[in-house]
A and B are shown apart, each in its own frame.
Chain A
Amino acid sequence: KNEVEQSPQNLTAQEGEFITINCSYSVGISALHWLQQHPGGGIVSLFMLSSGKKKHGRLIATINIQEKHSSLHITASHPRDSAVYICAVRLMDSNYQLIWGAGTKLIIKP
């Protein structure tokens, strides 16, 4: 069993829909990252969470430490949101190493 699991693996939605991507993990963590990988391959950090909720524009990330679960939400989705969204966790006993999920491929149709 992978230590970090994302669901769904693939998601296709219509423009304007509310999107939820989930990340579950089985290890003790000090932080959780959400990143976006563009179709061209570039990877950009979206959020870094250790508790609660963060919001940036139409993106919202939440984390529940007790349930070992995080969600990334996109409101009023747009075709430019089409990308792979990756969850990664920083282990409790490490300042350096991340364990990565396999990613969720999101396609937003106009």
Chain B
Amino acid sequence: NAGVTQTPKFQVLKTGQSMTLQCAQDMNHEYMSWYRQDPGMGLRLIHYSVGAGITDQGEVPNGYNVSRSTTEDFPLRLLSAAPSQTSVYFCASSLAGTGLNEQFFGPGTRLTVL
């Protein structure tokens, strides 16, 4: 199993550009989520999905869109990049339903918006 994969690992954008961060998992996990990590702060939840076709907003959803057309894939779209979106982005997945589920993380995408 590859676990949780993310692409790209690094990305530099100009303000106003759009892009999609890719996330995939091969563990048949129902729950997937996107976090951003900024210096000195805990991980903050952007969006999450409890299954194919179902998504919901987390703590900091503005400026980001997600979709979940398959169990495996959960892409994160930046609609119009802003310098405030410079961050490290992590995708995570886990089994859903019991509330006691280990989370598996992707390696992260380091995004810089100029």
Contacts and interface: CB of A to CB of B under 8 A. Distances in A.
A41 B100 contact: no
B88 interface: yes
The B interface is mostly helix, strand or loop, or mixed, namely: loop
B99 A41 contact: no
A100 B31 CA distance: 17
Interface stretch (B13-21, B35-43, B79-87): B35-43
Contacts of A95: 96-99
A108 interface: no
Given A41-B88, A41-B108, A43-B105, A98 B45 contact: yes
Contacts of B50: 96
A76 interface: no
Interface in A50-104: 50, 86, 88, 90, 94-103
B103 A33 contact: yes
Which one of A45, A50, A88, A96 has the greatest number of beta carbons of chain B within 10 Å?
Answer: A96
Contacts of A97: 45, 48, 58
Interface of B: 31, 33, 40-45, 48, 50, 58, 88, 90, 92, 96-105, 107-108, 110
Question: Lowest 3 CB-CB distances: which A-B pairs, in order?
Answer: A100-B42, A43-B105, A95-B99
Interface of A: 2, 4, 30-31, 33, 35, 41-45, 48, 50, 86, 88, 90, 94-103
Contacts of A96: 31, 33, 48, 50, 96
Contacts of B107: 41-42
A78 B40 CA distance: 25
A42 B9 CA distance: 12
A31 B99 contact: yes
Given A44-B105, A50-B100, A102 B58 contact: no
Contact of A103 (B33, B42, B99, B105): B42
B27 to A, nearest CB: 13
